[in-house]
């Protein structure tokens, strides 16, 4: 199979900090992943495989480490067409970093506050990318991802509140929502997110689900520079998907504030809400996908 023409995608990503590949996964592939979600959640205790919505133990909002819980996600994270696009963005030597699955249930799905992924896990360089795969047709009504175009060129915003890392940009530093664009796309589309892009998603106020699988990747020569519990846990699951490993760390200049949280947390939802009971309570100590 010939390599896809990714020139426009790369240009968009460099300029805006995000880019969309529409319908990169076909309908059958999307259906297989949605079936896999149902299968993963078909357990007596949903809390053993997923984080639940506050106040509703029956409603999952995030499946931990989906690639470890179902082979369909493992295959999706290594999907050759997806990796061709990742290669165009971060180069030929690609490590799987971690993955997660967000389930924004109709009228329930939680907010994801404004943040940059790099604030959670700074590395020696910024050749990291998250692929957000929509598993439902996604519009503003059912929580399309929102982003500030070009924000990836302006360094790291302040993710601290009251002296601790809280994984969100609030107050005077918060982006002006009128500068945001909503990234609407049909199921099967992938939004590629630069690690310094400011992004957000609203609660789901529609009657439709908004499910998204988010595998994250990094260049083999991007090494973590912080090993706090949530970032360090990813490392056990990091593996080469394409190209070669690197015995060299490529270092970009810059100053990065470290994500020193007040207490251990499981997911960005918990951190941003000021919750978090620590690894044992959330299950992330065993599943290794924190953020
Ligand atoms: O699921 C979403 O809407 C956004 C997720 C996100 O931004 C993240 O996990 O970094």
Nearest Cα to Cα of residue 232 among 137, 126, 121, 151: 121
Inform me whether the pLDDT recorded for 283 exceeds 50.
Answer: no
Q: How far is the CA of 2 from the centre of ligand 1 (A)?
A: 31
The whole-chain average pLDDT of the chain stands at: 91
pTM to 2 decimal places: 0.94
Inform me whether the pLDDT recorded for 180 exceeds 50.
Answer: yes
pLDDT of residue 275: 64
Residue 232: pLDDT band with limits 50, 70, 90? confident
Q: Are strands 112-115 and 181-183 parallel, antiparallel or unpaired?
A: unpaired
113, 145, 269: residue to mutate for ligand 1 pocket, most atoms within 8 A of CB: 145
230, 285 contact by CB (below 8 A): no
138, 214, 231, 270: residue to mutate for ligand 1 pocket, most atoms within 8 A of CB: 214
| Encoded tokens for 65 | 């480490």
pLDDT in tens, 62-99: 998 999 999 999 999 999 999 999 999 999 999 999 99
Percent of the chain clearing pLDDT 90 (strictly above): 76
| Encoded tokens for 125 | 């360089």
**Residue 168 backbone zone (phi > 0: left; psi -120 to 50: alpha; other: beta):** beta
Inform me whether the pLDDT recorded for 103 exceeds 50.
Answer: yes
Lowest mean pLDDT among 149-153, 158-162, 261-265: 261-265
């Amino acid at each position: 199979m010939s390599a896809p023409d990714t020139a426009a995608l790369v240009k968009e990503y460099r300029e805006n900090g995000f880019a969309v590949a529409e319908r990169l996964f076909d309908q059958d592939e999307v259906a297989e992943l949605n079936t896999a979600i149902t299968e993963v959640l078909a357990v007596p205790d949903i809390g053993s495989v997923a984080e639940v919505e506050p106040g509703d133990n029956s409603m999952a909002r995030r499946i931990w480490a989906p690639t470890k819980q179902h082979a369909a996600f493992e295959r999706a994270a290594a999907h050759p067409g997806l990796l061709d696009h990742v290669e165009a963005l971060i180069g030929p030597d690609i490590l799987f970093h971690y993955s997660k699955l967000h389930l924004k249930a109709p009228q329930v799905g939680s907010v994801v506050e404004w943040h940059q992924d790099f604030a959670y896990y700074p590395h020696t360089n910024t050749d990291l990318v998250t692929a957000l795969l929509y598993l439902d047709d996604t519009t503003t009504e059912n929580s399309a991802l929102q982003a500030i175009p070009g924000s990836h060129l302006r360094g790291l915003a302040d993710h601290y509140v009251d002296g601790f890392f809280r994984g969100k940009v609030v107050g005077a530093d918060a982006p002006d929502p009128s500068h945001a664009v909503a990234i609407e796309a049909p199921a099967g589309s992938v939004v590629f997110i630069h690690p310094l892009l400011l992004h957000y998603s609203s609660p789901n106020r529609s009657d439709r689900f908004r499910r998204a699988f988010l595998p994250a990747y990094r260049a083999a020569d991007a090494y973590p520079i912080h090993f706090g519990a949530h970032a360090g846990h990813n490392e056990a699951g990091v593996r080469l998907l394409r190209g070669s490993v690197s015995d060299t760390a490529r270092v970009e200049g810059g100053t990065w504030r470290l994500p020193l949280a007040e207490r251990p947390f499981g997911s960005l939802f918990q951190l941003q809400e000021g919750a978090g009971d620590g690894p044992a309570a959330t299950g992330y100590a065993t599943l290794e996908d924190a953020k």
